[in-house]
Structures are given as C-alpha cells and as structure tokens.
C-alpha cells in the first residue's frame, strides 16, 4: 500500500506543480477541466465497458450498490447534523455536506484499488461509483446544491443522470454481458489501451484540484468533521456492514477502502455551478486527500489482519 500511495503521490504532486508553475501558460483550472473531460467522455467509458462486459453477474453487485448508497447517505446525514448544530452559512453547509457525503471513489479509489489488489477491482470501483454514488450525486447531490446554493441552472437532476456517458456505457455493458455476447479480442485490446490512461490522468486531476492558500489553516476546524466522517467513520461503518451481509476477503478490503477515500473532486464543479462555497469545498478536497495518504495504509493494514 505504501508503494501504491507513493506512486499516486508522485502523480498528484505533478498536478500540484502544474497548478503552481502553469507550463505553456495553461491555466490549472483549464487543464483540470480538459483532462476531466477526456477521462469522463472517452477513457472512463472505455474502462467501464471493458470491466462490466466481463464481470461475473452475481448477487454481490447488488450488495456493492447497497453499500455505496449507505456510504453516501450516512455521510450526508452526519454532515447535515453537524452543519445544523454549528449553524454554518448555507453555501458553506452545502459544500461541506457534499464533501462529506461523496468520496473520490473513482479518481483516486480506482487506481489505489487496482494497484493494491489487482485489475479485478476495476469492476468493483465502477459498480460502487456508477450504481451507488453517481445516481445519488446527480439526484440528491444536485438537489442539495440547488437548495443550499445561490444560483445555477435549474435542470432536472434525472436528466443530468441520464446524460452521464459512463453510466449508460455501464448499462450497455451489462446488457451485453447478460446476453452472453463475447467481447471481440480486438475491441478488448482497444478498450484496455484506453483504460490504461484513466488512472494517471485522474491522479493528475486530483493534484490540479488541490488548493493551498493562507486561509487553509484558519479553516481547519470546519474541515475536521468532514475529514473524520470521510476517512474514519464511513470506512468503519462499511466494515461493519460488509461483515453483517457476508462479504469478506479481498472484496471486503476493496469496499472499505472505497469508503475511506477523500472528498470527491467533481464536487468542485457542482460548487461552482450552483453557487456553493467553492473555496471551502476545494480546501476539503485538499485536507482529506493529504490526510488519506496516512489513513489509507492504516485501514489496509487493519483489513489484511
């Protein structure tokens, strides 16, 4: 795990340095949006198609979705309760709720799982995200952003969900899988080559999203509960849930690690779009990502025992 995180840290650091020095005059936010678009609309659908076309169709898929939904909803509920007690400003509360509820299960989770446990975990990360987190993000997440934000378009969350390329790619792959349609060897090779670019570009995007400002230290007290929810309470909850429903071994390790991921990078886009406290959300991503470099090896060691 330490070697895995070291490799991830190098790529994240490359993104941080890009943000600092802006090579070729390319603004970091522009680079982040461009790379994210390439991953989201091309590389990630290729990975999803290759992984879900060949994954065994078992009851574990439903269990993984249920676990992911539990992870998000409990995280949102805990953050909502804390924001109510502290009486935070609405746009700050909305941003921190999203930061606590939605983890970076694909952009960081996928490369960490694959490097730690093997290529089979691609399907686990995809199922966790696309059949658990993503539907909630584009429905409940958008509703929260609209309610707590100060503006933004009023489009239907369900329409946004349907327009997600990785999601309908996953549905198409499952239909082909269920119909026992064989994956052509040449197409499998193409998908594999495209999928190979997902992890490094995702980690670069994470680095490009980290924000280090003079205000970060003063905001740490408001970010600590988000960090505890994402990196401590959620993996502990999912560890218990997987034990109760009969998931063990490496699959349990993978699911708990997914629950232990830091705040989702995509939330920065939602915060910008709906007028939430984007600066506070970006700080939450920074703090939880840095802290996860210490907590993920601890969870991995505990689970291996």
Structural domain total, the chain? 1
Q: Is residue 14 part of a domain?
A: no
Contact of 22 with 28, CB cutoff 8 Å = yes
Q: Is residue 7 part of a domain?
A: no
Q: What is the CATH number of the domain that holds 80?
A: 1.20.1530.20
Q: Which residues of 212-222 are buried (b: 16+ CB within 10 A; e: fewer)?
A: eeeeeeebeeb
Q: Residue-wise pLDDT tens for the chain (305 aa)?
A: 778 888 888 999 999 999 889 888 888 888 988 998 899 999 999 999 999 998 888 889 999 999 999 999 999 999 999 999 988 899 999 999 999 999 999 889 999 999 899 999 999 999 999 999 999 998 999 999 999 987 666 666 777 777 788 988 999 999 999 999 999 999 999 999 999 998 899 889 888 888 877 677 777 888 999 999 999 999 999 999 999 999 999 999 999 999 999 999 888 888 888 889 988 998 999 999 999 999 999 999 999 87
For 28-32, the CB contacts below 8 A with 24+ separation are 28/208, 29/208, 31/208, 32/205, 32/208, 32/209
Q: Is residue 2 part of a domain?
A: no
- pLDDT for position 241: 96
Q: Is residue 4 part of a domain?
A: no
For 160-164, the CB contacts below 8 A with 24+ separation are 161/134, 161/135, 164/134, 164/138
Distance from C-alpha of 72 to C-alpha of 190, rounded to nearest angstrom: 33
- pLDDT for position 269: 82
Q: Is residue 101 part of a domain?
A: yes
Q: Is residue 3 part of a domain?
A: no
Distance from C-alpha of 270 to C-alpha of 263, rounded to nearest angstrom: 13
Contact of 188 with 42, CB cutoff 8 Å = no
- In which region does residue 26 sit, left (phi positive, over 0), alpha (psi from -120 to 50) or beta (all else)? beta
Q: Is residue 274 part of a domain?
A: yes
Q: Is residue 212 part of a domain?
A: yes
Among candidate residues 33, 7, 51, 60, the one with its CA nearest the CA of residue 183: 51
- pLDDT for position 187: 95
CA distance to 75, 81, 95, 202, 287, per residue, from 78 (Å): 5, 5, 14, 28, 18
Helices (H), ranges, the chain: 2-21, 28-38, 44-54, 60-86, 90-101, 109-117, 121-128, 134-136, 142-148, 157-162, 165-178, 185-195, 198-209, 216-228, 234-244, 249-259, 267-274, 278-304
- pLDDT for position 237: 97
Is the whole model's pTM more than 0.85, yes or no?
yes
Distance from C-alpha of 54 to C-alpha of 51, rounded to nearest angstrom: 6
Range of the domain at 129: 28-304
Distance from C-alpha of 164 to C-alpha of 273, rounded to nearest angstrom: 17
Burial class (CB in 10 A: 0-12, 13-18, 19+), 305: exposed
What lies within 8 Å, CB to CB, of 31 at 6+ separation is: 18, 208
* 21, two tokens: 């020095």
Q: Which residues of 92-124 are buried (b: 16+ CB within 10 A; e: fewer)?
A: bbbbbbbbbbbbbbbbbbbbbbbbbbeebbbbb
CA neighbours within 13 Å on the CB side: how many for 35?
A: 25
- pLDDT for position 103: 96
């Amino acid at each position: 795990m330490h070697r895995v995180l070291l490799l991830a840290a190098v790529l994240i650091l490359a993104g941080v340095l890009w943000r600092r020095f802006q090579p070729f005059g390319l603004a970091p936010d522009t680079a982040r949006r461009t790379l994210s678009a390439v991953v989201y609309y091309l590389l990630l659908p290729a990975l999803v198609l290759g992984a879900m076309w060949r994954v065994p169709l078992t009851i574990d898929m439903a269990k993984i979705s249920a676990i992911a939904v539990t992870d998000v909803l409990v995280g949102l509920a805990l953050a909502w309760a804390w924001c109510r007690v502290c009486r935070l400003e609405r746009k700050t509360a909305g941003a921190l709720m999203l930061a606590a509820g939605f983890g970076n299960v694909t952009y960081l989770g996928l490369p960490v799982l694959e490097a730690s446990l093997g290529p089979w975990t691609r399907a686990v990360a995809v199922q966790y995200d696309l059949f658990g987190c993503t539907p909630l993000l584009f429905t409940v997440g958008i509703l929260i952003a609209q309610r707590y934000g100060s503006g933004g378009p009023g489009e239907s969350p369900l329409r946004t969900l349907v327009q997600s390329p990785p999601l309908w790619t996953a549905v198409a792959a499952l239909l082909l899988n269920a119909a026992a349609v064989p994956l052509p060897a040449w197409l499998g090779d193409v998908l594999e080559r495209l999928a190979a670019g997902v992890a490094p570009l995702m980690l670069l995007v994470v680095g490009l999203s980290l924000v280090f400002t003079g205000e970060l230290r003063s905001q740490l007290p408001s970010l600590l509960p988000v960090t505890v929810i994402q990196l401590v309470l959620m993996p502990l909850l999912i560890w218990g849930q997987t034990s109760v429903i009969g998931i063990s071994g490496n699959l349990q390790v993978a699911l708990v690690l997914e629950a232990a991921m830091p705040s989702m990078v995509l939330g920065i886009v939602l915060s910008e779009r709906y007028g939430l406290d984007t600066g506070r959300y970006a700080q939450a991503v920074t703090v939880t990502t840095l802290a996860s470099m210490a907590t993920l090896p601890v969870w991995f060691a505990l689970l291996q025992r």
